[in-house]
Amino acid sequence: MIVRSRAPLRLGLAGGGTDVSPYSDQHGGFVMNVSIDKFAYATLVASNSGMTEFESLDTQCSEVFEPETVTLGPGPTQLMRGVYLRIADDFLEGRRPAVKVRAHSDAPPGSGLGSSSTMVVALVGAFAEYFGLALGEYEIAHLAYEIERQDLALSGGKQDQYAAAFGGFNFMEFYADDRVIVNPLRIKEWIWNELEASMVLYFTGVSRASAKIIDEQARNVREGKAQSLEAMHRLKQEAVQMKEALLRGDLARFAEVMQSGWLAKKQSASSITNPMIDELEALAFANGARAAKVSGAGGGGFMMFVCDPAERVRLVRALGAAGGTVYDAHFTPGGVASWRVG
């Protein structure tokens, strides 16, 4: 039997960073995001060799273990090992089966599209299907969060796991004690289409380590730095404003809120922007963009731009000449999916 799964990557539209502790614990966080048609994939099969095998197709790296010798730790297969060990401990009474796990993603780590967390969700989905575990979206997302943030001690927030598990347009609420509420939005078809026609994704070609930026944001909140805290409060409220703009189909307001949110985000940590990002933002506004922001923690990865669809070609040409890669933005309504082959 072969089990496969995939989970969608996401665009953080507003409120990103307010899902990260300690801010979400102290003040509550709001995030608005949407999943896109780029995915993380996982495949799980029985291992004929009696060994447990992990293979990262993106890095072309594989590791083979006696099942009882699999451990946590850094490396290109750490997400796979983390999921394997947690599933064994929580659902298999500590039994470690001999399996082969393979995974890859449509986006590189550090892209700002939540690729690492989405990969963990895809892996949890594959293991749940393989072992017949009755896990819903909330359970998959929470388990993925615990594996990544607690077991593997990787810095970050909570929105990526829930975006990958649920899919679609979601307004998310984050509170103390890991309480999360996902509010799926019913976006009218014409609004969905107009937004897709208005958005341009641009990969800067520079992946970044989000942990440094996230740690700086968290430190600023813990230390009570006024500018950073005020910026986080603005980001939280702008997630509400963006939700309202989307539901009403007010895309001019959508662009205003995105730009305002980007300005606030840049005040929450010093490393969120840099001269390269500032130059790309200026170039985009000179060629028809109405709003610009970096997806994810900042510092590089993917940027997103909003423009009048009639200005799209001019904006795409200007960005393409800047040396990065331009992508269309296509949204997807579904979250993680798993299936059996044969």
Q: Which residues are catalytic?
A: 160
Burial class (CB in 10 A: 0-12, 13-18, 19+), 80: buried
Which own/partner pairs from 176-184 qualify as long-range (CB within 8 Å, at least 24 positions apart)? 176/24, 176/25, 176/26, 176/28, 177/25, 178/142, 178/145, 180/138, 180/141, 180/142, 182/137, 182/138
What b-and-e string marks burial along 257-287, b requiring 16 or more CB atoms within 10 Å of the CB? Answer: bbbbbbebbbbbbebbbbebbeebbebbbeb
> How far, in whole angstroms, is CA 194 from its chain's centroid?
23
User: What is d(CA 157, CA 88) in angstroms, rounded to the nearest whole number?
Assistant: 25
Rg of the chain over all Cα atoms, to the nearest angstrom: 20
223: CB partners within 8 A, 6+ apart: none
Q: Where are the alpha helices (DSSP H) in the chain?
A: 23-27, 78-91, 115-130, 137-145, 159-166, 189-198, 210-222, 226-248, 251-266, 275-285, 312-320
